[in-house]
Amino acid sequence: MKRSLLIFFLALSPFFIHAQTTQLPQLERVEPMFWFTGMHNPKLQLLVHGNQIAKNEVQLSYPGVNLLKVNKVENPNYLFIDLEVAADAKPGSFQIAFSQKGKKTFSYTYELKARNQSAGRIQGVTSKDFIYLLMPDRFSNGDPKNDVVKGLQETTLNRDSMYYRHGGDIQGVMNHLDYFKDLGVTTLWMTPEIENDMKNASYHGYAATDNYKIDPRYGTNALYKTYVEQAHAKGLKIIKDIVHNHIGTGHYLYKDLPMKDFLNQWPTYTQTSYRDQPVMDIHASEADKKQMLDGWFVPSMPDLNQRNPYVQNYLTQNHIWWIEYAGIDGLRLDTYPYNDGPYMADWAQKLKAEFPNLSIFGETLVSAVASQAYFTGGNTVNRGFDTHLPGITDAVIKDAIFEALNGKPGWTDGIFRLYAILAQDFLYKDATNNVVFMDNHDMSRFYSVVNEDFNKYKAGMAMLLTMRGIPQLYYGTEILMKNFSNPDGLVRSDFPGGWPADKTSKFTAAGRTEKENEAFNYISKLANYRKTSLALQTGKLMQYVPQDGLYVYFRYTPDNKKTVMLIFNSEDKEKTLSTTRFAERVGQATSATDIITGAKLNSLQSISIPARATLVLELN
């Protein structure tokens, strides 16, 4: 999520605890509402919220569950109960009794569920995968009955406005799982699905008001779990988008703060600088670091104080809960540079301890390779600790590809920019964990950035699907959806055919234009080929310094048995490429197959490349 995210700013409440003693029931909630046996970490901290709940004493009795401590904090409407769940504790239910002056006032039935030990349930997302990013509100409306939910702050449904909700939901995504399979996608990533009960423009999902609840306009927790299960049954993996940095002003934790330092508080409202440099700058002032990390993203998104141990426990347990409950394969971490570094490192270790196959990658919309690499795991010399973050969203590669497609040749411009950026992969522990993308919900759509030039579009898609790393496609790119990000809502248009009233459906070949089908088929051909290509999935990359307007790189297996060659002609005239220079990689190959057309090249001595064309060849 970027700083220009368009939302209607909500009025800020004063910076002090404002307990809602007259509005809360005796017991408003317990989170996590249930837990699991057999977890790696035996410690569990329950957040209990209710009217003057701190006046109560707490008791419980269950074999294998030990009550360690009851923490009373500044706000008497909260208790934080520390439990220890032994390794031999059995699934079952028990009563948590609340009493005052020795008299029981009420109880809560807490359940320990059996941990799901199914082999391969949480698969992880790797460079073998192809991610499809979508916004559930804008993709498909599978259940019109949940379009407007009584009791929520926003009850307007208006598809003619870029700011209001449009009615898309989880069922709509489930209805099109076969579409993703046909396209060649292996992994689905939705922008956050959890409740965003805000007054306006919260369809994006990044202003949570309940971390344990799917937004009822999208469905239910049970439906989300079914979505994951059905996707897995189709051979599709699931990424969940999570936010550590902030919540929404509609969240109960903001409306009734547990303690003053649950949030990053300022004497007056202070916004983040949005500049990542002070986090890594050895010359930076502490004031600049503090504003970057502790400043609020926007007024409607209160900034969580991740140095607070209660905040840490709340976030970490919530993410573990969702993974275990639903069987999620990977996590995308929103606004990663804005988070507290030591906490995020601890968080990553705790999640990997519970789910060794889980994949995580962080959003780092920064401007340099070194800046991206700074946040990834293995850079202990620079940070003093290991972030344990395997990969990031590779915005620098994205910008370099745009420069290769749109820029004019120069020593560091045009195709030379892309070459130079890839040459800096030595800064990463493993660049193949980075997510490569052309656009997303916060930026101008790829087809518009390349000025709707179809040759450039195909070149970008070819690079996306043959580049090192994990490719990610933004919904609608495959049907040439377009627009610019000023304002952002324009790049979040509905997928045509996702609503019953839509005149045409782009989910079918019959509903797409000839050019749209050509785009869809181009991506599908490459993506489905990639599913069986070890060279593209896990192979090494070798690139050559661009010459005569041509940029060439190879993906190849360590045993050299499988090799894919990409040739990009950046100029407006046909070129002939002599392959003598590439003998190191061409090796004994004497012919090649064009992956897109299936045409055979019976000789590799020289290859003709039309103006502005891109060839993806499998060497034989």
- Bridge-based pairing of strands 78-85 and 43-49 is antiparallel
**Cα distances (angstroms) measured from residue 50 to each of 21, 25, 279:** 8, 6, 38
Q: Rounded to an integer, what distance in angstroms lies between the CA atom of residue 38 and that of residue 354?
A: 10
Q: State the first-to-last Cα distance of the chain, in angstroms, to the nearest integer.
A: 44
- Residues near 404 by beta carbon (within 8 Å), at least 6 away in sequence: 414, 415, 417, 418, 463, 551, 568, 570
Sign of the Cα torsion 552, 557, 559, 563 reads: negative
* Residue 96, both tokens: 């948590």
Residue with tokens 């019959």: 510
Amino acid at 477: T
| DSSP-derived pairing of the beta strands 34-36 and 103-113 | parallel
For residues 193 and 159, give the distance between their C-alpha atoms in angstroms, rounded to a whole number: 19
List CB contacts of 520: < 8 A, sequence separation 6 or more: 183, 478, 479, 509, 512
Q: Kindly compute the dihedral angle of the four CA atoms of residues 591, 594, 598, 604, in this order, to the nearest 10 degrees.
A: -20
Instruction: Please report where in the chains the tokens 């990390």 appear, as a residue.
Output: 293
What pairing do the DSSP bridges indicate for beta strands 194-195 and 210-214? antiparallel
Contact call for residues 128 and 538 (beta carbons, < 8 A): yes
Cα distance between residue 536 and residue 557, in whole Å: 9
Segments of 374-421 assigned E as strands: 391-392
102: left (phi over 0), alpha (psi -120 to 50) or beta: left
Predicted confidence at residue 20, as pLDDT, reads 45
What pLDDT shows up at residue 1?
A: 64
| Size of the chain, expressed as the number of residues it contains | 620
Number of other CB atoms surrounding residue 52 within 10 Å: 14
- Residues 249-275 as b or e (16 or more Cβ within 10 Å = b): bbbbbbebbbeeebbbeeeeeeebbbe
**Catalytic option among 329, 334, 403, 494:** 334
Task: Please name the helix (run of DSSP H) or strand (run of DSSP E) that holds residue 594, with its range, or none.
Answer: strand 592-594
Please write the tens of the pLDDT for every residue from 224-249: 999 999 999 999 999 999 999 999 99
Active-site residue flag, 363: yes
Considering only CA atoms, give the Rg of the chain.
26
Are the CB atoms for 511 and 496 separated by under 8 Å? yes
State the amino acid at position 569 in one-letter form: N
pLDDT at 246 (0 to 100): 98
Model's pTM, two decimal places?
0.96
- Calpha distance 294→296 (Å, rounded): 6
| Structural contact between residues 533 and 593, judged by C-beta atoms closer than 8 angstroms | no
* Residues in contact with 126: Cβ distance below 8 Å, sequence separation at least 6, in sequence order: 359, 433, 470
Q: Tell me which DSSP letter residue 56 carries.
A: S
3-state secondary structure of 81: strand
Please report, for residues 370, 371, 417, 544, 614, the alpha-carbon distance to residue 423 in angstroms, rounded to integers and kept in the order given.
12, 15, 10, 10, 21
Angle CA 453–455–459, to nearest 5: 115
Cβ pair 49, 28 in contact under 8 A:
yes
The residue whose two tokens read 């500049």 is: 275
pLDDT of residue 188: 99
Q: Residue 13's pLDDT is what?
A: 40
Query: Which residue shows structure tokens 């782009």?
Result: 506
Per annotation, catalytic residue among 215, 256, 363, 618: 363
Tell me the average confidence (pLDDT) per consecutive run of 10 residues in the chain, 620 residues long: 42 41 84 98 98 97 98 98 98 97 94 95 98 98 97 93 95 98 98 95 94 98 98 98 98 98 97 96 97 97 98 98 98 98 98 98 96 93 91 98 95 96 97 98 98 98 98 98 91 97 97 98 98 98 98 96 97 96 95 97 95 97
Q: What is the pLDDT of residue 4?
A: 41
Say whether 619 sits in a helix, a strand or coil. strand
pLDDT of residue 383: 86
Contact 163, 200 (CB under 8 A): yes
Tokens at 437, concatenated: 């993308």
State the Cα–Cα distance between residues 407 and 461, nearest whole angstrom.
17
- For the chain, domains (ranges, CATH) are 29-113 (2.60.40.10), 131-531 (3.20.20.80), 540-619 (2.60.40.1180)
Let me know if 334 is a catalytic residue.
Answer: yes
